[in-house]
Structures are given as structure tokens and as C-alpha cells.
Amino acid sequence: MAPPFAASLNPITANSFVGVMGGPGFAQGPQGGSGVLFSDVTLSSAQLLALLTTPVTIVPAPGVTGWTICPILAIIRLIGGGAAYTDVGGAVSFNCGSDSWALAANTIFLTTVSPNRAIQKFIFPNVLDTAANPPSDDNAALTISKVTNNFAAGTGTCHITLWYVIDQSL
């Protein structure tokens, strides 16, 4: 289900994020790239098992030089399968350019089959882009990945809803 502020004229279809003014869609505001936006992505078990080697895009790059994704809140929901994921170390993190926000623990992914559902709310802390001019988060996608070591085994899916704004400081 879409958050209550999602514009009914812009339904989420295959993670398409182009608004009427050329910027990201699904915004609460006067044009496509303003206001609070959201992304709704489901990760398969195969994607979860390959987070180190194959990061998953949560929000595509804005497509305009000088625009930056600024995440606000993510709700992570894991639906466990037949076996809990085995964590062999390394934080799960959200990344945008050189910006990185690591989960304090990967506990949500270690959910067993009973109960088989876990929810984690992640509020994005302050981060400083440490790259040169222009910053590395300038027109970069926001992804989720693992810092080291893929999960060794496990089954289930992960549904992530992420709210964000686009900084348009050109």
C-alpha cells in the first residue's frame, strides 16, 4: 500500500521515478522534484544473499547534476522463509556516493521462521559527504549493500519503504 501522501496520478510502476517536470515523481509539492518522495522495493532472497557483490538500487540517481538524494526514514520488513539468514559479519548499509549509513546490527535479517516477520525503522543520521568537488553523492543512486561478507545462507524476502527528499542546489 502506498503512503497516504502518494499522488494518485503517479502510481508506483516498476520503480519509475520521473515526474512531470523531469525530476523524480511521487512528490508532495508543486513539481516532480519537490516535497517528500518515497521508494517501495522488495528484495528477493537471491538479492539478499548477494548484497556484498551486487548492491540493490533503492532510489535511482535523480538524473540532474547538482541534485542529491537525502534519505529521511526507511522501514525494513523481513518475511522469513524456510531458514533464517546466516550472518558472517559486515554491516548492511544504505549508500549514496561516499555517504554511508550502516544498520547498528543485522538482526532483522536473522529472523527465524516462527515468528516469520520482523520490522525495523531506520532514521537516517547526519552524514558528511567526504568527497571532493563536486560531491560524490551528486546525482548518485541510493543503494543497499553489505560492507563485507555476503549472508551465508537463508531464505525470505525483504520489503523496504524509504522516504527521502531531493536537494536541488545547483
Report the distance separating Cα 131 and Cα 62, nearest Å: 18
At residue 87, the pLDDT reads 92
Phi-psi region of 90 (alpha: psi -120 to 50; beta: other; left: phi over 0): left
Q: Would you say residue 66 lies in a domain?
A: yes
Selection from 47, 71, 51, 89 nearest residue 161 by Cα: 71
At residue 48, the pLDDT reads 96
> Number of structural domains, the chain?
1
Report the distance separating Cα 6 and Cα 30, nearest Å: 13
Q: Would you say residue 163 lies in a domain?
A: yes
At residue 126, the pLDDT reads 87
At residue 113, the pLDDT reads 67
At residue 19, the pLDDT reads 47
Q: Would you say residue 30 lies in a domain?
A: no
Q: Would you say residue 24 lies in a domain?
A: no
Q: Would you say residue 5 lies in a domain?
A: no
Q: What is the pLDDT along the chain (170 residues), one digit of tens a residue?
A: 444 334 333 333 334 444 444 444 444 444 455 689 999 999 999 999 999 999 999 999 999 888 999 999 999 999 988 888 999 899 999 999 989 999 999 989 887 766 688 899 999 988 877 767 788 888 999 999 999 999 988 999 999 999 999 988 76
**Structural domain harbouring 132:** 37-167
Q: Would you say residue 67 lies in a domain?
A: yes
